[in-house]
Amino acid sequence: MNPSGTAPRIGIFGGAFDPPHNAHVALAEAALAQLDLAELHVVPTGQAWHKSRALTPKEDRLAMARLAFGGLKGTVVIDSREVLRDGPTYTLDTLHELQQEQPGAQLVLIMGADQAGALPTWHGWQAILGIAIVSVAYRALSTGGTARFDPKMLPGLPAGARFEALELPAMDTSATDIRRRAALGEDISSLVPSAVARYIDQHHLYRPA
Ligand SMILES: Nc1ncnc2c1ncn2[C@@H]1O[C@H](COP(=O)(O)OP(=O)(O)OP(=O)(O)O)[C@@H](O)[C@H]1O
Ligand SMILES: O=C(O)c1ccc[n+]([C@@H]2O[C@H](COP(=O)([O-])O)[C@@H](O)[C@H]2O)c1
């Protein structure tokens, strides 16, 4: 408990971060500014069972996450547990581990509205909603507009599930678009933190073989 008698809030922001980009950083900054977090864990995904393409090696994604998020103001932990874990990455496992490590903390799972809408496809999603508050940031759609999210649209929403809105200006940046641009040799320096752009260049990431 805090001196105020409330449970410390631990934020969890997971992603493939292939690569981490400016919208990810803006989302993390908004979470630190708005969610009253004692800590923010930025968690690169290990084995993304839900994505059909092979991700860039986890060592590179972890290194880029350190470059992108390591300098943010606030207590930020670049959490390597999922890249170190064998087998498919399940957020539920991460939440169970954090619960054991920090009993009494309130876990706050942070995501874009696109992921929130897909929650019923997640492993153990109803258990996740029993453990964590879900904080949802709006996300610009490639077709224009923003991805709105209303928890009531989730079929089978468990009673007691808690959601919070995270205010974020809609940004249409996506890692898919950045990988595509980098593969074409286009300049991506306005889309990712400069240290990430240097890392991509130095390690020849996203270029055709
Ligand atoms: N432009 C954005 N605005 C708001 N949230 C975003 C944005 N881009 C990513 N996110 C959120 O960040 C988290 C991690 O996303 P992820 O690493 O998959 O990035 P991505 O840009 O969606 O990647 P990809 O294009 O490869 O699917 C997810 O919760 C996602 O909803
Ligand atoms: O646990 C699951 O089943 C699960 C299914 C889909 C996504 N996630 C997590 O959601 C986060 C964002 O996913 P993504 O696809 O936008 O990178 C990332 O931490 C993933 O591991 C988790």
Q: What are phi and psi of 11, to 5 degrees?
A: -90, 145
Of 43, 52, 35, the C-alpha closest to 83 is: 43
pTM: 0.96
Q: Where are the beta strands (DSSP E) in 66-154?
A: 76-78, 106-112, 132-137, 139-140, 146-147
- The pLDDT, as a whole number, for residue 3 is 66
How much is the average pLDDT of 159-176?
93
Q: Of the residues 69, 91, 135, 139, which should be mutated to test ligand 1's pocket, given the most ligand atoms within 8 Å of the CB?
A: 139
Q: Is 95 in the pocket of ligand 1 (CB under 6 A)?
A: no
Question: In angstroms, what is the span from residue 112 Cα to ligand 1's centroid?
Answer: 7
Structure tokens at 122: 């997640």
Most confident of 38-42, 70-74, 134-138: 38-42
Would you call 77 exposed, middle or buried from its count of C-beta atoms within 10 A (0-12, 13-18, 19+)? middle
- The pLDDT, as a whole number, for residue 55 is 96
Looking at the chain, the whole-number percentage of residues with pLDDT higher than 90 is 82
Q: Which ligand is nearest to the CA of 41?
A: 2
Looking at the chain, the whole-number percentage of residues with pLDDT higher than 70 is 97
Q: How far apart are CA 146 and CA 138, in angstroms?
A: 6
Which ligand 2 atom lies nearest to the CA of residue 51? 15
- The pLDDT, as a whole number, for residue 1 is 66
DSSP letter at 13 equals E
Residue corresponding to tokens 């249409």: 172
Residue 50 has pLDDT above 90, yes or no: no
Q: How far apart are CA 25 and CA 122, in angstroms?
A: 24
Residue 143 has pLDDT above 80, yes or no: no
Instruction: Kindly list the distances between the CA atom of residue 97 and the CA atoms of 17, 28, 100, 107, 109, in Å, as whole numbers in the listed order.
Output: 21, 21, 5, 11, 14
Residue 179 has pLDDT above 80, yes or no: yes
